[in-house]
Structure 1
C-alpha cells in the first residue's frame, strides 16, 4: 500500500496528494465510520429476524440494507474526502 501511495503521489506536496490513506482504529465506533454501518445493518437484521428462515435470507437482508440506503453519519464528514460527498 505504501509503495502504491508513493507512486501515485510522487513528487507532490502533501496538500496536493491524489490519494491519502486515513488510518482508523479497528472496531472503534467512535472513530471508524464503517462501524456505524455495521451497527445499522445488524439492527435491521435483528428487527426482521422473524423473516430469516435461512442464511440466504440473512444475506439478502444485509445486502438490502447496506446497498439500498444512504448513510449520513455526522462523524463521516469530519474526514476530508467524505466532506465533499454532500
Structure 2
C-alpha cells in the first residue's frame, strides 16, 4: 500500500483507518490535524459503516482527546452501554 506524496516539501495530514471486516484502508486527507477534522473523520467513518461499531486506536495527538472530540463521542454514544458504543477509542 502506498500513500502518494503530493509535495514533499509541504506538510501533509492524513486520517486513516483499517476496516478489518472489509479488508480496506479508509484514508482521507486534511489541511491540518485538529479537533474539527478529527470529528469530521469520525463522522465520515460512521457514514461509511453505519451498522458497525468502530474501535479507534489513537496516536498521542492532543486534539484526539480535546473537549470537542470528547463531547462528540458522548453524543454519538449517548444512552448506550459501553458494549454498544458506536465509537470506542483507545490510546
Task: State the TM-score bracket (shorter-chain normalisation).
Answer: under 0.3
- Higher Cα Rg: structure 1 or 2? 1
Decide which structure has greater strand share.
2
| TM-score of the superposed pair, with normalisation by structure 1 | 0.26
Compute the TM-score of the two structures, normalised by the length of structure 2: 0.25
Which structure carries more helix by proportion?
Answer: 1
Q: Which has the higher contact order (CA 8 A, sep 6+)?
A: 2
